[in-house]
Homo-oligomer: A and B are copies of this chain.
């Protein structure tokens, strides 16, 4: 068997088109959706992420003002800035790009974002609501994007065994939560595995759906995958490659070529989960603006 590819790029562009339609509709009804992507300092990767998010907003007709703050901003100034955004009626979603430069206190900043505008879904109130099965809470973008990928390839997790490798607060843990809820496109038996798991191969082979977000290049080998499984690879790792102009290439956490011969569906890296994250962020922004307009 050679697995079919899950084309995250294509699916994300469909979602972004849907978002653009909703944004237009809201704008015509008097509420142009607005997202504040706050960038503090000059971390190059953060700059790239924020630029991608802003560009995606612009393409979708979402207002996304420049929010670039100096690296030496004080904690209280940053909190004041967040408060202003909390009060700003043109802004419906606020995201603070992490990591923040030292010595800023990330947890305190996240807590200050009003839960109604927390489109990243990282505020404890939204995490708590999500865990309690409240479907109105904002869900973090990457886990929501994974669920959406499964939906678009018509793979219903209900009754299946989902194995999640990696327990980060932004991917592994919330996707395990979401897919174990008694909800449509969820309702799976879920195993959460991680660095301390005894025999990762044995656990991996349990998964009808295998979601890998462990951050190690080519960590999952074919023998760790159940034949016919749907494999979702969240990893993005640089490996040296002298044949490339940049001197490296990006690979996932899954040994793609080998696992492709075992799985039924697989996400490529890049072009799998990655593009979904921004698409789902935009979707959350529309949701926030829609509630504001209602």
Give 1 or 0 for each of A178-203: 1 = CB within 8 Å of chain B CB. Answer: 00111000011111111011100001
B191 touches A190 (CB 8 A): yes
Tell me if A125 is interfacial: C-beta within 8 Å of chain B.
Answer: yes
A contacts with B, residue count (CB < 8 A): 36
With A124-B125, A124-B129, A190-B192 as known contacts, state yes or no: A180 contacts B167, CB within 8 Å: yes
Q: How far is the CB of A135 from chain B (nearest CB, A)?
A: 13
For residue A70, CB closer than 8 A to chain B, the reply is no
- A161 touching B128, Cβ below 8 Å: no
Return the chain B residue nearest A133 by Cβ: B169
**A179 → chain B, closest Cβ, in Å?**
10
Q: Is the CB of B191 within 8 A of A189?
A: yes
Docked complex Cα distance between A181 and B134 (Å): 22
B160, B182, B198: the one within 8 Å of A159 (CB): B198
In the assembled complex, how far is the CB of residue A174 from the closest CB belonging to chain B, in whole angstroms? 8
Q: Is the CB of A192 within 8 A of B173?
A: no
Interface residues of A in 151-178 (CB under 8 A from B): 158-161, 167, 169, 173, 176-177
13 contacts between A and B (CB under 8 A): A124-B128, A124-B129, A124-B132, A124-B134, A126-B128, A133-B169, A158-B196, A159-B196, A173-B177, A176-B192, A189-B196, A189-B203, A206-B206
